[in-house]
Each structure stands twice: as structure tokens, then as C-alpha cells.
Amino acid sequence: MENEKKKNVFSGIQPSGNLTVGNYFGALRNFSRYSPDEYTCLYCVVDQHAITVRQDPAELRRRTYEVLSLYMACGLDPEQNILYVQSHVPAHAQLAWVLDCYTMFGELSRMTQFKDKSQKNADNINAGLFTYPVLMAADILLYQTDLVPIGDDQKQHLELTRDIANRFNTVYGPTFTVPEPVIRRTGARIQSLAEPEKKMSKSDPNENAVVRILDDKDTIIRKFKRAVTDSDTVVRRADDKPGISNLMTIYSCVTGKGDGEIEAEFAGKGYGDFKLAVGEAVAAELAPIQERYKQYLSDKAYLEMIMKQNSEKAAYLARKTLSKVYRKVGFTSV
Ligand code: TRP
């Protein structure tokens, strides 16, 4: 066992917008399932991805500290996990350029997130938005990643990453580990509270549609009370009950209860009781995280020390892959 190579885990969160319970259940919460004793874990704040849509510089900087604090508040120990900021490790951008040359225009044109975001940002369909999935592939492949915990919406990007890795390996011989996505069934898709047919999005202009990780208890409960449901009264999962089904998913994420159990618990009770229970459960789950988050965020010097130490660790690992790639494609070194 001693000498067996640990598997590598990589994931990233953009410091754009105020993170939601969708980000929490779909990604963040699952990161702490990987014990540093068994895995080498890298969790990156992907600030370079964030600028594919226009960001206010002061806000981007602030949110970078916030996401780092949240990583730690969710239980990721910065001594045991590599928690760092993407722009602090130049190898991401360097590898992305090489991989750009092994990714086809047609492949990128098919990415649904690109199509969505181009619609939402019609005045700024920049080249970075288009090649965004290649930078994401570079993030992952740079660390010979085995496992990538992600939400359902990133599945297509992971498939492209695997295609790029296989293509490169076929031309140059084994270079990259081909990563596997880890998409948990419960919580991979949390929907909007106002339009439950749509994904909960941190940039939704309707604040009642989104529950934020940092919302206070009263706000959380109020938002759940207002959640759009249907004219039925029975708490039951069904395709024609997207609102209730979404609340059941969220409740299940927090309590670990299955649909049958939830249906039994609320049998004979109205939607009001159910919504309140969901709100209280979510608020209770988030309270200790919010507490720790505030403590971390208030100590900027500590956060900067963590950023610096961890980016050095990441850069060390990244350089190994990058130099291998540079050698294989025929770049000279002096
Ligand atoms: N594209 C991801 C998102 O929008 C963020 C991301 C960037 C990421 N690089 C990554 C996720 C690498 C996992 C692995 O959510």
C-alpha cells in the first residue's frame, strides 16, 4: 500500500458571483469526501475562467478570497489539500495554448455552455469564452488527474477533456492520465426555486430563485417558503411536479433521506410544512460553514500565505507535466 501511487483529484470553482446551494451540493460539499490520506487533492479557484465574462476587478479579487475561505470552511484542510488560485500557476495558461492546437473548432462549437453563455452575453462573445473548455482541460490534465468531482452541467466539458487527452496520447504516446468525472446522483442538479425547469444559477437576476451558501437563516427560510410548486398538495416526486421534486432533492441532500421516507414524513401535511422543513434543514447545514467562513475571510494575511504555499505545490506538480508536453511536441529547452 505504502508505495501505491495515490490517485489525484482535481476540481475548480469560478470566483464569479455569489455561490449557491447548487454549487454546494453539486460540487463543494463532495470535495471533502476525498481523504488526503488516500488522494492528492487539488481545488482551484479558477479566476482565469471567470474573465470570459466581464468582471468588476475589485469584485473578482474579493470573490477569489471568498471562494478560498469557503473551501476551508467546508472542511478542506489547506495543509492537506492543495487549495490555490489558477492565475498563480502560469502552467495552466501555457498548457491551454498547446491543447488549443489539439482541439477542433467543431468540438468547441458544440459545447452547450458556450451556446448558453453566448446567448446571455451576446455583446461579448469573445475567444476566451469559446476556448474556455480547453483551459478547463489544461487544469485537469496538468495534474495527471484521475477523478474530477463536478456537477452535471460540466459533463460535456469532461468528455471533451478525455477526447483531447486521448488524441494527444495517440499522437505522442502516453502523456496524460485520462480523467473520470464523478457526478453524484443526488444534488448534481439543483433547480431554480422560481422556475424549477431551469438550473439554479448564481447569476439569476431573480434573487428568490437562488439560495446562496452565505444567506442568513431568515433569508433561506423565506426563499424556500416562496418556492414555486404546483396546485397539488401531496409531497411526491413526479415529472409534472418539478418544484416539489427539486425541494425533495435538496431535502434529501441534507438529511440523506430517500424519496419514500420523505413522502411518508410529509404525508397528510401541506406544502407549507414541507417548505419550512427544507428551509430549516438547509439553514442548519450551512450555519457552521458560515461561521467558519467569516473567521477565515477576516484573516487576509493567513489566506495569502495559504495561496502562496499552495500555488508553489501546484506549480511543482504542473511543471512536470508541462515539460513533458513541451518535449513531446518538439519545443527546445535551454
Ligand atoms: N467550468 C467549471 C464550472 O464552470 C469550473 C472549472 C474550471 C472546473 N476548471 C475546472 C471544474 C476543472 C472541474 C475541473 O463550474
pLDDT digits (tens, 9 = 90+) for 202-211: 889 999 999 9
CB of 14 sitting under 6 A from ligand 1: yes
CB of 140 sitting under 6 A from ligand 1: yes
CB of 92 sitting under 6 A from ligand 1: no
Cα–ligand 1 centroid distance for 53 (angstroms): 15
**Residue 2 — pLDDT band, cuts 50, 70, 90?**
low
Dump pLDDT digits (tens) for 54-106.
999 999 999 999 999 999 999 999 999 999 999 999 999 999 999 999 999 99
Among protein residues, the one whose CA lies closest to atom 6 of ligand 1: 12
Dump pLDDT digits (tens) for 172-181.
999 999 999 9
Which of 14, 16, 142, 183 has the most ligand 1 atoms within 8 A of CB, as the residue to mutate? 14
pLDDT at residue 186 in the model: 72
pLDDT at residue 3 in the model: 57
pLDDT at residue 217 in the model: 97
Dump pLDDT digits (tens) for 159-169.
999 999 999 99
Does the annotation count 117 as an active-site position? yes
| Mean pLDDT computed over 233-258 | 96
Query: Is pLDDT at 201 greater than 80 in this prediction?
Result: yes
**Domain definitions of the chain by residue range:** 3-183+300-329, 207-294
Dump pLDDT digits (tens) for 273-295.
999 999 999 999 999 999 999 99
| Mean pLDDT computed over 234-251 | 96
pTM across the whole model:
0.93
What CATH number has the domain spanning 207-294? Answer: 1.10.240.10
On the CB side of 200, how many CA atoms lie within 13 Å of its CA?
A: 34
Instruction: Return the C-alpha cell found at 239.
Output: 415529472
| Mean pLDDT computed over 37-49 | 98
Cα–ligand 1 centroid distance for 136 (angstroms): 6
CB of 96 sitting under 6 A from ligand 1: no
Query: Is pLDDT at 121 greater than 80 in this prediction?
Result: yes
Query: Is pLDDT at 117 greater than 70 in this prediction?
Result: yes
Cα–ligand 1 centroid distance for 141 (angstroms): 12
pLDDT at residue 59 in the model: 96
What architecture is domain 3-183+300-329? 3-Layer(aba) Sandwich (3.40)
Does the annotation count 199 as an active-site position? yes
Does the annotation count 198 as an active-site position? no
pLDDT at residue 151 in the model: 86
**Residue 152 — pLDDT band, cuts 50, 70, 90?**
confident
Average of per-residue pLDDT values in the chain: 95
| Mean pLDDT computed over 22-44 | 94
| Mean pLDDT computed over 241-247 | 97
